[in-house]
Structure 1
Amino acid sequence: MKVFIVEDEHSSTLFLKEVISDNFHDVSVVGDADNIEEAAKLIRKVHPDLLLLDIEFPHGTAFDLIKELSGTGFIVIFITAHQKYALQAIKMSALDFIMKPIDPYELIQAIQKAKEEVSRNNDFERLQALLHNLNEEKGLHKVVLKDKGGFHIFNIHEIVRLEAQGSYTKFMIKGGQTILISKNIKEYDAMLNTHGFFRCHKSHLVNINFIQSYSRYAGEKLLLTDQSEIPLAQRKKDLLMKTLKTHAHIK
């Protein structure tokens, strides 16, 4: 597998190269650049399989580079020292990222995962979802779900609810499709709770747009438009009512 590094800190570039050469006999660094313009030119020449890509540069961002190279096939692992809004968009697009200071073990794991993905597909569609989510006018509207068979891209408003199943999360999509993802529901709660989703129970996260009614008989329950009945934790009742009122006011 061919790797290209885009990083404006020389010490980080050297560290990335060292970790790769010490741990992968079948991975080679075919080039590096410390700015977006040079990176775009070199990447078109060497056609890497994987980009190790810092996010912020003095003149531009990693996303400017992604836009310029749109349609070029490669996997991307983002590297950043900043906890900014972009990380939520990256997570929702099911793309990998590593925080600085770089943990060698996390880097090795991410590269190993990238090796497995290179043989199946590239990140083009997920990168397009990322660029969509970074568009301020469009907002965060797409989520990428990875399962054993590949990945699926959905508009957030198509997701009816999520249900915890051990360390996995089951997604229920409008129309009846279900997808089981090997991430716990807590991760998705953090991603979606500002986009119209409510954690009504430790095992359930619902899209409030699909709530049809509430019943206190036979236990506190929510009835959704797909006719599913979801338990409502007693301690969440007041917060849900406030959330629904706020949401109705905004709409």
Structure 2
Amino acid sequence: MTHSLFTATFRLACSQPRCPFCWMLEEDERRYMRSLLHEYTLAPDIHAHLAASAGFCARHAQVLVETEWAMERDGLGTATLYESVLKQLEATTAKALETSHKRPVLRKPEPNEMCERILVALRPQETCLACLHSRQNERFALQSWVEYLSEEGLEADLAQTYLQAWGVCFPHLLRLLEQRPSLEVARWLLNDFQTKLQQRRKRLEAYIHKHDVRHRHELREEERHAWIEAVTLTVGDLLERRGGML
């Protein structure tokens, strides 16, 4: 049975001018970071994981910094978390240097072999903590949507809301199909994607055509962002923080 919290959140996500799954992931990431900064900056298990993963990945480190700055205009929570990260990196670098001085007794090591040993010593032992959290929540959202469509049917209220929404990005279309929905649901998802793909292709063609000096005055408001929509459709959340361009 589809979780009621998912359906309420998904309905709100469908009102946004972007892929609903990308929007839900970003909202969840910011909630996760706020929770981390409010409640877990001194938690030993959080520090241990962050030390082993060399902190957050680039994307989630940016979310962390943006979230704390928006909350506090201060970086004390981030500083507290990253003190353990830097201490561990310092120890890891020392180990890598030590490794670089160790040579096989019976032969001269190849340069590539020594570099590989250094890399092994430096590579993080854990995955980004926020990535693990996001993957789990993304999986839940994708499974819940396929479950809803299977249980409630393609004529259900939320299904019709989805058809009127911005639409799913290509990466999330693939991940939905990886849930192995019924053939009927798979075709419905594909038809919706194809319809919105055609609409955006036509807007993109109009955008290109109307950049001719003879037609520039004909450019409509919804066509001005066609170039951004085209990229967003193909990559989804990589363009989520686009400075209000859409």
Answer yes or no: same fold by TM over 0.5. no
Q: TM-score band, normalised by the shorter chain?
A: under 0.3
TM-score, structure 1 as length reference: 0.22
Determine which structure has greater relative contact order: mean sequence separation of CA pairs < 8 Å that are 6+ residues apart, divided by chain length: 2
Higher share of residues assigned strand: 1
Larger Rg: 1 or 2? Answer: 2
TM-score, structure 2 as length reference: 0.22
Higher share of residues assigned helix: 2
